[in-house]
Amino acid sequence: MKGSLIIVGFFALGVLCGVLNWIPSEWLSGDLSFYALCGLMFSVGLSIGHDPQTVQNFRALNPRLMLLPVGTILGTLSATLLISLVLPHRTIPECMAVGSGFGYYSLSSIFITEYKGAELGTVALLSNIAREILTLLCAPLMVRWFGNLAPISSGGATTMDTTLPIITQTAGQKYVIVSIFHGFVVDFSVPFLVTFFCSI
Amino acid sequence: MFTVIGIMFTGIGIGYLLRRNSLSWIGKVITALIWLLLFLLGIEVGHNEQIIRSLPTLGLEAFLIAIVCVLGSCLAAWALWKHVNRRKEEKA
């Protein structure tokens, strides 16, 4: 939670600098953000490749529960498909790109800004932060209404880090491996799905 | 556009080759780059008067998308939960 606040703080600080014109706009015309994005993705790749242990732990998992990330992705994408009909000024792929962040607001907003501009990037940032917060707040209700897998699905890409504690509290300790597996797979799908929906 | 994903796979490959070395600093690099990129996004938003003026609408829209995403995933999780439990009962 503290990490999320700092990230939002940097965004807010940037907005303030932009509104008050503290930073010359030449900073933005350069490719700085593109190179930083490349550096970020390289580092994310390094950290995944460096730790094969995580992937090995998944062998202990009930094969049927391996379907959970698929359910999360399909459930989220069908929901964004429906909501795009209510938001006439947004195209279907735009809404689906925002939904494809699955709560991974830093990466999805950066990607969407790069491909679709700052306005949709801001929607992606706020929407995916809201998804994480909703999961943190409503996890107990989700378990009661939709069963033990619901908070994991709702947490999307965050279930291997920020929402893991609340999931183990509400769904139970035995869902830790499912939750980490789910977070890993959904996390990995974010750059692909976001790029895909931004390019159609 | 797919350059970025290619770079990620290069990273995975190099990370795998370096798996015996300690890369404990990588988390800090990731955090710093995320801070930098969101700061830059903030500046771009702040510079753009139109976005600043429509921020409340954008926020509402974002919240709406988040709610339906959560509901959609919960329904999918509920379906899988029913499916998994039914199989268990059949076995018992």
Q: What is the pLDDT along chain B (92 residues), one digit of tens a residue?
A: 578 788 888 998 999 898 888 888 888 898 898 888 888 888 888 888 888 888 899 999 999 999 999 999 999 999 999 998 887 666 55
CB neighbours of residue B28 within 10 Å: 10
Q: How far apart are CA A98 and CA A108, in angstroms?
A: 7
Q: Does the beta-carbon distance from B43 to A18 stay under 8 Å? A: yes
Contacts of A40 in chain B (CB under 8 A): 30, 33-34, 37
- What is the Cβ-side half-sphere exposure of residue A77, based on CA atoms within 13 angstroms? 16
The whole-angstrom separation of Cα A78 and Cα A76 is: 6
User: Looking at residue A67, what is its pLDDT?
Assistant: 93
B92 to chain A, closest Cα gap in Å = 17
- Counting Cα atoms < 13 Å in the Cβ hemisphere of A70 gives 7
Residue A9 pLDDT level (bands cut at 50, 70, 90):
confident
**Residue in A40, A51, A87, A89 to test binding to B, most B beta-carbons within 10 Å:** A40
- Which among B27, B7, B42, B5 has a CA at the least distance from the CA of A47? B27
Chain B: give the shortest CA distance to residue A8, in Å: 8
Ordered by start, the domain boundaries in chain B are: 1-51, 54-92
pLDDT of residue A27: 64
The closest of B73, B5, B84, B81 to A156, measured between CA atoms, is B73
CA atoms within 13 A on the CB side of A169: 11
pTM score, whole prediction: 0.83
